[in-house]
Chains A and B, each alone.
Chain A
């Protein structure tokens, strides 16, 4: 028991481990993937250490969100005044600033103590927390992304993206090997970043492999464009990769080469055909809990309020937002999204 804890500690006291969890382009990725593969116990320990680490980061994200933009702007004003003013007046300025600062402190204080669940109109935060999802199991793992895309992560693969995938692009960082089935949304192109390569898609299915020294993109349906990180796209266009083709990054020359490909890489079953989770007259709480797990987004609601709500729904083919719309319309509730996840509120059912 203690030994197990000590091993988790050892990882959290290792710079290389933390870098690997936090930095998608960590040079230690290969080392840790091998380490994890070496022993089933390693995978479990790494998983636990990582979970604790990410949980602590989430707490800090919450704390950071309590520093308000107004406060930041106000401080900047003080700085501007400070650098515009000649030195002798500084004492006066400092006193004035102290008074102003006091006013802002009160605001922070309220934000810190206020229970977030009590604020119904949490607006979408500009920057949402980053999610890291990692497959430590032997089998491929199917993940659902908030935009309705699906990813089958191979053993040891890791993706990271912002919690709600909001913003005008959908962006994912990948290390390892994964099969993507990207939901169509021409307004919001989907980007995958590996160490050297950028893959841009609008909606299609394909496999990306980004292990050490091996970065390839193989297309199953549709088409994707592939280019190098930092490539000037006005000088030289991106490579368009079509079905039956594979695009490979050559490390020495930093070139992208497209070849014919016989498609053995693809999963037997489309992720699309895989486990759609259907509920029939299920308690709302069950559905929301499942949603939380599938999309790796915290969902908050008051279980007592929705005690009597039952719902029939199939999860997995739409985006998180579309699903939430259907659910909230059915039980006459509303939802809001923020850095902390999703909050569902309403009057409940009779």
Chain B
């Protein structure tokens, strides 16, 4: 509803869309890059562009998808060194070997810390794309098919990505619950 109002030039509706989504967008951006300033600037630019191009916006009932996707595009464009769209496919092409190393490393560190790792730390230690997929699926209730589309991967690759993330996380989780 606010989206339609925004298209008609209603700035209050525009700001409501901003307020509803901004925190989710900051968190999402931080899954993609650690550069806080870049995330903030990109979100600001994104909203300024939306306002300027409001007449040409396509209709959507889910502004969240639109905003997430647009932010992702922006962040990958301003970081040309790392292409976020192809990174996952690259890892898949290499037979998941790199990712497994990362996980082994995380698990080893975890054991060293004598089960002191919290779920939070484990989440932060996951490869970025795993964090991103978890955030979209578990926090934003976005279907895997849609996530695949947003992350430029195929459906099965997203499931594989998630499976690896879950494997790592469940370890942290069971340590945590068995301690209490």
Pair A59/B22 contact, Cβ less than 8 Å:
no
Q: Decide if A98 is an interface residue (CB 8 Å cutoff).
A: yes
A97-127 interface code vs B (CB 8 A; 1 in, 0 out)? 1100110110011000000000000000000
Q: Is A341 interfacial (CB 8 A cutoff)?
A: no
A55→B119 contact, CB < 8 A: yes
**Contacting residue for A108 out of B36, B43, B167, CB 8 A:** B36
B109 at interface by CB-CB < 8 Å: no
- Answer whether residue B48 sits at the interface, using C-beta atoms and an 8 A cutoff: yes
Residue A257 CB within 8 A of the other chain: no
B41 interface hit (Cβ, 8 Å):
yes
B123 located at the interface, meaning its Cβ lies under 8 Å from any Cβ of chain A in the complex = yes
| Chain A interface main SS type | helix
Report how many A-B pairs have Cβ atoms within 8 Å. Answer: 99
Query: Residue B44 contacts which of A56, A57, A82 (CB distance < 8 angstroms)?
Result: A82
A63 within 8 A of B: yes
Q: Which A residues touch B166, using CB under 8 A?
A: 8-9, 12-13, 52
B40/A101 in contact, CB under 8 A:
yes
Q: For the complex formed, measure the closest distance between the CB of B117 and the CB atoms of chain A, giving whole angstroms.
A: 12
Whether A94 is near chain B, meaning CB under 8 Å from some CB there, is yes
> For residue A9, which residues in chain B have a CB less than 8 angstroms away from its CB?
163, 166-167
Residues in B103-143 with C-beta less than 8 Å from chain A = 119-120, 123, 134-135, 137-139, 141, 143
- A12 in contact with B162 given A75-B22, A76-B15 (CB within 8 Å): yes
- A8 (CB) vs chain B CBs: closest residue: B170
User: From DSSP, what is the main secondary structure of chain B's interface residues?
Assistant: helix
Chain B, residue nearest A108 (CB): B36
Contact of A23 among B41, B141, B145, B167 (CB under 8 A): B141
Bound-complex Cα distance A57 to B167 (A): 17
Q: Which A residues touch B163, using CB under 8 A?
A: 9, 13
Partner of A94, one of B18, B41, B143: B41
Q: CB within 8 Å of A: which of B10-50?
A: 15, 18-19, 22-24, 26-27, 36-37, 40-41, 43-45, 47-48
Q: Tally chain B residues at the interface, Cβ within 8 Å.
A: 40
Residue of B nearest to A100 (CB): B40
Q: Is B51 an interface residue (CB 8 A)?
A: yes
Q: Is the CB of B26 within 8 A of A67?
A: yes
> A18 with B137: in contact, given A13-B144, A52-B173, A59-B120 (CB under 8 Å)?
yes
Interface residues of B (CB under 8 A from A): 15, 18-19, 22-24, 26-27, 36-37, 40-41, 43-45, 47-48, 51-52, 119-120, 123, 134-135, 137-139, 141, 143-145, 159, 162-163, 166-167, 169-170, 173, 177
Q: Can you give 29 A-B contacts (C-beta < 8 A)? A: A12-B162, A13-B162, A15-B145, A18-B138, A51-B173, A51-B177, A52-B166, A52-B169, A52-B170, A56-B119, A56-B169, A59-B119, A62-B120, A63-B27, A67-B22, A72-B22, A72-B23, A76-B22, A79-B44, A79-B47, A79-B48, A79-B51, A82-B47, A94-B41, A97-B41, A98-B41, A101-B36, A105-B36, A109-B36
A residues at B contact (CB < 8 Å):
5, 8-9, 12-13, 15, 18-19, 22-23, 51-53, 55-57, 59-60, 62-64, 67, 71-72, 75-76, 78-79, 82-83, 94, 97-98, 101-102, 104-105, 108-109
The 3 A-B pairs at the shortest CB distance, nearest first, are namely A82-B48, A105-B36, A60-B139
Additional pairs, 8, CB under 8 Å, beyond known A52-B173, A83-B48: A13-B144, A13-B162, A15-B145, A52-B166, A57-B139, A75-B22, A76-B18, A76-B19
